[in-house]
Copies of this chain bind each other. A is one copy, B any other.
Amino acid sequence: MTKKPTLDDLTDRLVAFRDERDWKKFHSLKNLLLSLSLEAAELLELAQWQSDEELESRLSDPKVQERLREECADIFLYLLLIAERVGFDLSQAGADKIERNDAKYPVEKARGTAKKYTEL
């Protein structure tokens, strides 16, 4: 049984992929941030003109699941390239952010409301 790839595995593969094609010159940090933004829009496009309910109901279609999965993968790969460039571990950054949010949105104040932490 194949182990799930770790973030370091994926980052190593991305760097190899990039360097085999001599693409590092295109991967300025600004270009990586820009491309991630474009992929986020391709993901959001799946919700265009649809109500919350319509989108949820389309989730039973394997084609729609695959589109979502693929667009999320694109964004994820850019995150890994950015993390590699800047020099941080994405999963540790995620863990730290969950803790910061825990403090910003204490359960007793934030429960049930979408208010921003500045309004709590």
A41 touches B38 (CB 8 A): yes
Main secondary structure of the interface of A (DSSP, over half): helix
Across the two chains, which residue of chain B brings its CB closest to A115? B49
Copies in the complex: 4
Tell me the complex Cα distance, A73–B41, Å: 18
Across the two chains, which residue of chain B brings its CB closest to A64? B86
Note all chain B residues with C-beta closer than 8 A to A77: 94, 97-98
Closest Cβ of chain B to A24, distance in Å, is 11
Interface residues of A in 62-92 (CB under 8 A from B): 65, 68-70, 72-77, 79-80, 82-83, 86-92
Name A's B-contacting residues (CB within 8 A).
Answer: 4-7, 9-10, 13-14, 17, 20-23, 26, 28-31, 33-52, 55-56, 59, 65, 68-70, 72-77, 79-80, 82-83, 86-98, 100-102, 105, 107, 110-112, 114
Q: Can you show 9 pairs from A to B with CB atoms below 8 A apart? A: A5-B92, A17-B101, A23-B110, A28-B52, A30-B47, A30-B50, A51-B52, A65-B87, A70-B100
